[in-house]
Chain A
Amino acid sequence: MGTNPELVALMLADARLPTGGHTQSAGLEPAVLAGLGADGNKLGEIEEYARDRSRTVTRVEAGAAVVARYFALSGLELTPVERAWAARTPSQALRAASRRQGRAYLRLAGRVWPGVLEHLPGDGEIARPVVVGVVGAVTGLSAVQTARLIGYEDAQTVVAASLKLLPVDPVDAACWLTALHPEIEELADAVRGLTGPGEIPACGAPLVDVFGQKHAAERMRLFHA
């Protein structure tokens, strides 16, 4: 179709792509409410939080995206991938948030990359990483590009949300993100070869789930999740 996969990856990583990304904090808001960053006295914890996610929940996401991409390329039905992701995402609130985001991506992809609709329903509530994996399959992203995108997006979501939640210098935020590059590359490398739902990493971060559950009932929130 004449589209350069690298440009597709840049589009997908760009917050200006209309997918409702501005409503997401990758769990940072509830973590801050629970004390992360100590009201601005321990801002280094933001980078540590992003790193912890990269080693746990984001690994599940990236693995699910890579396997979804492989399934779409192989013409396989994607339900087992979504199910494997759900089994590794204990919080109902976080599953719902991801599926709502997946729906936002599908709404976009249905018009921008209509080939996605050959694999997923345009109005489906399907986990975001599964949708991103299928977009990757349709647009020619490699497995490692797909995984890197998930890893980068999660870290950038944390860092960008920190600017709204804590007294952060935006350049410090960019420094944290850059410092996370090796972590993101390691993540991408670890999951790039996965092809089966059973291989998706099952490493959790229980506090992320607990915070996610609490946040869904929180009245005074800026971010959806």
Chain B
Amino acid sequence: MHESTRSFRLGVAGPVGTGKSSLIAMVCRELAGELQLGVITNDIYTDEDARLLRSAGVLAPERIRAVETGACPHTAIRDDVTPNLLAVEDLERDFAPLDVVLVESGGDNLTATFSPALVDAQIFVLDVAGGGDVARKGGPGIARADLLVVNKTDLAPYVGVDVVQMVADAEAARGGKPVLALSRSDAESVALLKKWVLEMTAVVRSGRHTPVDPGPMAPHSHVGDDGELITHTHAHPHDQTHAGVEVDTDRVVQAHAHSH
């Protein structure tokens, strides 16, 4: 693979029905004029998501390809990423040079995150309809994905979820990593998603980003030698600088570079 044809590979993970395909369609719709894009889908039955995205008309159909997962969606994005890597490389070769390849995971559970061998960065998608307490429960994707999206905020009044509280819970679980409350009917939030993708693309291109593995392990607690309760994770330490979107509890958002 020639280095110049290497794209920014962006994973989109999250439980079934939280809006991963719709988010990818949104990114394509917003950015297809500015960036050269490709999409790889992983689904239970081959190409359901790929067909949905093709029919959305946001990207040339041949730039959207499906990978079979053999009913093992978590394996396909984590334990054995080979088929996905081949698909990404084929897209990069066939449509060179691509700026971003979006890789959508098959809808799995809260523990399914991408291997850094497959993607440079990842978005984890939750939605308010899945329950306001999901963000608080945590998990590797919620705690350590590069961006956490709380989707479908427009539905919050109908499902009795306090979005501000859900975002606050998510931020507490993420130690400063960005959270974005998103609704397709909220143009401001869509603009912020677009901004994050553009900034992340720039950071990855500049070589200043090291992929971080959210890991399969949720934060957990045990009692230390001195009897003190210790809560910790096994995430890799990371000290690189990268751009992020920070969201405060009333969803006034500013994008800036920060280090940690």
Name the contact of A21 in the complex, choosing from B45, B67, B71, B80 (C-beta under 8 A): B80
Between-chain CB contacts (< 8 Å), 24 pairs:
A18-B79, A18-B80, A18-B82, A19-B82, A20-B80, A20-B82, A20-B83, A22-B69, A22-B72, A23-B69, A103-B86, A107-B85, A107-B86, A161-B70, A164-B71, A219-B51, A221-B46, A222-B44, A222-B45, A222-B68, A222-B69, A222-B71, A223-B68, A223-B70
Name the contact of B80 in the complex, choosing from A22, A221, A222, A223 (C-beta under 8 A): A22
A25 touches B79 (CB 8 A): no
Q: Verify if A171 is at the interface (C-beta below 8 Å from B).
A: no
A70 to chain B, nearest CB (A): 27
Residue on B nearest A18 in the bound complex, by CB: B80
**Binary contact readout B1-38 vs A (1 if CB under 8 angstroms, 0 otherwise):** 10000000000000000000000000000000000000
Known contacts A18-B82, A23-B70; 9 further A-B pairs (Cβ under 8 A): A22-B76, A23-B76, A104-B83, A107-B82, A107-B86, A161-B70, A219-B46, A222-B46, A222-B68
* From B45, B51, B79, B86, residue with most partner A Cβ within 10 Å: B86
Q: Verify if B202 is at the interface (C-beta below 8 Å from A).
A: no
For A224, the chain B residues whose CB sits under 8 A away are 68, 70, 83
* From B46, B70, B86, residue with most partner A Cβ within 10 Å: B70
Residue on A nearest B50 in the bound complex, by CB: A219
Name the contact of A219 in the complex, choosing from B45, B70, B80, B85 (C-beta under 8 A): B45
**Could you tell me the dominant secondary structure of chain A's interface residues?**
loop
A220 to B51, CA, bound (A): 11
For B67, the chain A residues whose CB sits under 8 A away are 23
**Binary contact readout A87-102 vs B (1 if CB under 8 angstroms, 0 otherwise):** 0000000000000100
A108 touches B70 (CB 8 A): no
Q: Verify if B165 is at the interface (C-beta below 8 Å from A).
A: no
A103 to B80, CA, bound (A): 14
Q: Verify if B134 is at the interface (C-beta below 8 Å from A).
A: no
A21 to B72, CA, bound (A): 11
A195 to chain B, nearest CB (A): 31
Number of A-B contacts (CB under 8 A): 62
4 smallest A-B Cβ distances: which pairs? Answer: A22-B70, A18-B80, A20-B82, A20-B83
B45 touches A108 (CB 8 A): no
For B75, the chain A residues whose CB sits under 8 A away are 22
B86 touches A19 (CB 8 A): no
A23 touches B86 (CB 8 A): no
Q: Verify if A123 is at the interface (C-beta below 8 Å from B).
A: yes
For B72, the chain A residues whose CB sits under 8 A away are 22
Residue on A nearest B45 in the bound complex, by CB: A220
B7 to chain A, nearest CB (A): 17
- For window 37-81 of B, CB contacts with A under 8 Å fall at 44-47, 51, 67-72, 75-76, 79-81
For A107, the chain B residues whose CB sits under 8 A away are 82, 85-86
A24 touches B70 (CB 8 A): yes
A222 to B48, CA, bound (A): 11
* From A18, A25, A218, A223, residue with most partner B Cβ within 10 Å: A18
Contact-residue bracket for chain A: 20 to 34
* From A23, A24, A108, residue with most partner B Cβ within 10 Å: A23
A123 to chain B, nearest CB (A): 7
B45 touches A19 (CB 8 A): no
A222 to B71, CA, bound (A): 6
Name the contact of A18 in the complex, choosing from B1, B45, B81 (C-beta under 8 A): B81
A19 and B80 contact, Cβ closer than 8 Å, known pairs A107-B85, A107-B86: yes
Residue on B nearest A22 in the bound complex, by CB: B70
For B76, the chain A residues whose CB sits under 8 A away are 22-23
**Binary contact readout B162-173 vs A (1 if CB under 8 angstroms, 0 otherwise):** 000000000000
For A19, the chain B residues whose CB sits under 8 A away are 80, 82
A124 to chain B, nearest CB (A): 12
A56 to chain B, nearest CB (A): 23
B245 to chain A, nearest CB (A): 34
Name the contact of A23 in the complex, choosing from B44, B45, B68, B85 (C-beta under 8 A): B68
For A22, the chain B residues whose CB sits under 8 A away are 69-70, 72, 75-76, 80
A38 to B61, CA, bound (A): 37
